[in-house]
């Protein structure tokens, strides 16, 4: 009987312990922060990324830290949902490489985005609609300006590019991870964007000339030149990308850690350019030195060859002079009557 009670007590303890462990694991699984971090991590692991595992962990911890700092804000679960939905297209939109300075820029940027999303006033549905209307107004203003500046453009191609760009903007307003899609602009900011767009008209002329020249240059992959509609569509897309850059100029002040990362990236790029320039200069200097050394080597080789051949030439010339002298001596004797003296001697003996 005592043995049975011991067994029952052990079973009860094991059951209670397993229940507690299961409850703790379930609480972790249902933690919205952990679910968000897991979704971010799965997105990062979905494709090959040239980042070290330590970098990936550092990137995730930057997000986690900002989320943990704002657990008490209003609409916390909705903000996490925006982070989950907005991270996927954002992650796919930028290029990754194994440069540390560029990684630090990406890490600082996602930290800024998360901090702004969690710390800013959450938009109402009315404010979201206002922001959508503002984007539509700005984009329509830009496309109408393009049609006025370039009357030869196909209106359908321009409007198609406009609608595609606006659809992307609308999707990002629904999940506003980036600061430019979270809050509506002021009327003053909208006018600033339009005015700056007007000042870029000459830049768009240069862009059109470049696209036109590129279309006339034969391509290795595609022998058929693009049609007029394709060029009009491409010009509109490139121009609207300039417009999006103007929109970014009215966002809230960038944080110091993001600006520091950008400065470090700029310094790294400058250093790389200097290294390449120095390497090119060293290569040109070595080529000049090798060319000079080659010339000197050829010159010295020519001199050595000349010195080696000089005794042979002197010996050959000396033998010729000796034969010439012997012939001259014989001729000289004949001219001087050398034979007559011998004949005269014989006649005296007789």
Write the CB contacts of 96 (distance below 8 Å, at least 6 apart in sequence). Answer: 49, 50, 51, 102, 103, 106
Tell if the pTM clears 0.75, that is, is over it: no
Burial class from Cβ neighbours inside 10 Å (0-12, 13-18, 19+) for residue 277 reads exposed
With beta carbons less than 8 A apart as the criterion, state whether 146 and 158 touch.
Answer: yes
pLDDT at 27: 46
Q: What is the pLDDT of residue 11?
A: 39
pLDDT tens digits in sequence order for the chain, 350 residues long = 443 344 334 434 444 444 444 444 444 457 899 999 999 999 999 888 999 999 999 999 999 999 999 999 999 999 999 999 999 999 999 999 999 999 999 999 999 999 999 999 999 999 999 999 999 999 999 999 999 999 999 999 999 999 999 999 999 999 999 999 999 999 999 999 999 999 999 999 999 999 888 777 755 555 555 667 899 999 999 999 999 889 999 887 889 999 999 999 999 999 888 888 777 777 777 777 777 777 677 777 777 777 776 666 666 555 545 555 555 555 555 555 545 444 444 444 43
Helix axes 256-335, 100-119, angle to 10 degrees: 160
- The pLDDT of residue 18 is 46
Other beta carbons within 10 angstroms of residue 225's beta carbon come to 13
- pLDDT for the residue 21: 44
């Amino acid at each position: 009987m005592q043995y049975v009670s011991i067994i029952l007590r052990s079973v009860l303890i094991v059951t209670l312990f397993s229940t507690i462990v299961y409850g703790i694991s379930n609480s972790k699984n249902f933690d919205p922060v952990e679910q968000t971090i897991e979704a971010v991590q799965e997105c990062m692991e979905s494709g090959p990324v040239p980042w070290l595992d330590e970098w990936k962990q550092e990137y995730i911890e930057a997000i986690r830290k900002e989320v943990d700092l704002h657990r008490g804000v209003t609409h916390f679960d909705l903000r996490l949902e925006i982070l989950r939905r907005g991270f996927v297209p954002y992650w796919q939109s930028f290029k990754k490489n194994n440069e540390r300075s560029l990684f630090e820029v990406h890490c600082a940027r996602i930290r800024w985005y998360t901090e702004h999303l969690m710390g800013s006033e959450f938009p109402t549905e009315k404010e979201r609609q206002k922001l959508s209307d503002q984007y539509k107004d700005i984009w329509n203003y830009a496309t109408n300006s393009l049609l006025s500046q370039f009357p030869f453009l196909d209106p359908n191609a321009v409007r198609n590019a406009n609608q595609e760009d606006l659809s992307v903007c609308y999707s990002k307003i629904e999940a506003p991870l980036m600061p430019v899609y979270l809050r509506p602009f002021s009327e003053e900011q909208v006018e600033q964007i339009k005015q700056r767009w007007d000042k870029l008209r000459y830049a768009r002329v240069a862009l059109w000339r470049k696209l036109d020249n590129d279309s006339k240059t034969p391509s290795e992959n595609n022998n058929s030149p693009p049609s007029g509609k394709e060029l009009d569509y491409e010009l509109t897309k490139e121009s609207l990308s300039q417009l999006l850059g103007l929109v970014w100029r009215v966002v809230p002040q960038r944080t110091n850690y993001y600006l520091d990362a950008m400065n470090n990236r700029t310094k790294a790029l400058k250093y790389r350019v200097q290294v390449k320039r120095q390497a090119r200069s060293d290569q040109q200097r070595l080529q000049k030195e090798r060319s000079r050394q080659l010339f000197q080597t050829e010159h010295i080789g020519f001199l050595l060859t000349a010195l080696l051949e000089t005794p042979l030439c002197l010996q050959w010339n000396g033998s010729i002079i000796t034969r010439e002298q012997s012939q001259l001596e014989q001729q000289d004797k004949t001219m001087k009557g050398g034979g007559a003296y011998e004949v005269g001697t014989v006649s005296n003996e007789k």
